[in-house]
Amino acid sequence: MNVAQNMKRKILGLVAVLGLTIASQGIQAAQGPVRIGWVNWSDAEITAKLAQVAIEDQLKLPVKLVQADIGIQFQAMANGSIDLIPMVWLPTTHAVFVDKHKDKLTDLGVLYEGKLGMAVPDFIPKSELSSVEDLKKPEVQAKLDGKILSSEVGNGQYKLTEKAFDVYQLKGYKIVASSEVGMLTEMDRNLKRGKWSVINAWSPHWMFSKWQLRYLDDPKGVFGTAEQIHAIARKDFPAEYPQIATFFAHYHLPDGDLQQLMLQARESSADKVVADYYAAHKQLFADMFNAKN
């Protein structure tokens, strides 16, 4: 076989491979999977996994859960690598990410309401620490070792805490960020030693059932008031998946149910409690997919 024939054969083979690859990708795109982004927070895990179970059962479409930091999630959704995020806190916490990519996103609806801010164990006297303003007291800063415990670096609460440093002129503090588990483990360790700590908290969350905690007053409104947790999708998603868009427009979890699911998940697993809850409320979820308004 001469060089020209050999080259022709290689080109034809490459074309065939590319053709099969493109066809395969086309089939995969038509069938899914639907890619749902989530951050490793207890409420987000329950919300995302319950949606996954419902979509796969009701529509027979595969769903892939993609876990990453919230900033990465928004960037991925803007470029089409993720379809939606069912845990966007507005109007304050995640507004910076929504504003940055707003032309490429669409709001599917509100899932539940929440609150966030700085919280402390209730054994700390209110006379000494009841407000973010009180963090400026030298004796309070000393008892806290100048630390604000936080979950992931760069998430909405982290950024708001950085803003609070400026607004309240909190000098000499540092944000100690790890993860939700790391933050709460450190606080639990401090509680057992009778040591003071302040954390970036949010609710609904099982932490408020396990420990006696209270939010610090935020007179300058850095952390906002009540927040709504939205499902935000890439802009073309509702046209491509209208039934899923309808589902998220009507997907709602009562606060009591969500709190209970988070508590139960700590004792078994999120997968188990989600499966049990879905089985017990299957018709309710079916109605969410078929709602007319």
116 pLDDT above the threshold of 70: yes
pLDDT in tens, 87-109: 999 998 899 999 999 999 999 99
The tokens of 170 are what? 């909190």
Same domain, 286 and 247: yes
Q: How confident is the model at residue 269 (pLDDT cuts 50, 70, 90)?
A: very high
Same domain, 247 and 108: yes
CA angle 7, 9, 13 (to 5 degrees): 115
Give yes or no for a contact between 138 and 272, defined as CB atoms under 8 angstroms apart.
no
Residue 171: count other Cβ atoms within 10 Å of its Cβ: 9
Strands of 183-274, DSSP E: 199-203, 213-215, 227-234
Distance CA 73, CA 233 (A): 11
- Average pLDDT of the chain is 88
Instruction: Please tell me the predicted confidence (pLDDT) of residue 152.
Output: 87
83 pLDDT above the threshold of 50: yes
18 pLDDT above the threshold of 50: no
Same domain, 109 and 119: no
Same domain, 104 and 138: no
Beta-ladder partners of 214: 120
Residue 119 belongs to a domain with what CATH number?
3.40.190.100
Instruction: Please tell me the predicted confidence (pLDDT) of residue 109.
Output: 95
Instruction: Please tell me the predicted confidence (pLDDT) of residue 238.
Output: 97
Q: How confident is the model at residue 31 (pLDDT cuts 50, 70, 90)?
A: low
Residue 43: count other Cβ atoms within 10 Å of its Cβ: 24
CA-derived radius of gyration, the chain: 23
pLDDT in tens, 213-244: 999 999 999 998 788 999 999 999 999 999 99
For the chain, the maximum distance between any two Cα atoms, rounded to a whole number of angstroms, is: 92
Q: How confident is the model at residue 17 (pLDDT cuts 50, 70, 90)?
A: very low
Residue 127 covered by a domain? yes
Q: Which helix (H) or strand (E) holds 18?
A: helix 3-31
Instruction: Please tell me the predicted confidence (pLDDT) of residue 27.
Output: 32
Distance CA 106, CA 231 (A): 9
Same domain, 237 and 202: no
Number of domains in the chain: 2
Distance CA 146, CA 142 (A): 6
Give yes or no for a contact between 246 and 233, defined as CB atoms under 8 angstroms apart.
no
Instruction: Please tell me the predicted confidence (pLDDT) of residue 237.
Output: 97
Same domain, 106 and 237: yes
Distance CA 151, CA 172 (A): 20
Residue 81 belongs to a domain with what CATH number?
3.40.190.10
Q: Which helix (H) or strand (E) holds 157?
A: helix 156-167
Give yes or no for a contact between 246 and 55, defined as CB atoms under 8 angstroms apart.
no
Q: How confident is the model at residue 67 (pLDDT cuts 50, 70, 90)?
A: very high
Same domain, 109 and 234: yes
Same domain, 121 and 186: yes
Q: Whole domain around residue 104: which residue ranges?
A: 33-113+228-290
Residue 27 covered by a domain? no
End residue of a domain, out of 165, 182, 215: 215
The tokens of 22 are what? 């493109």
**Cβ within 8 Å of residue 153, ≥6 positions away:** 69, 177
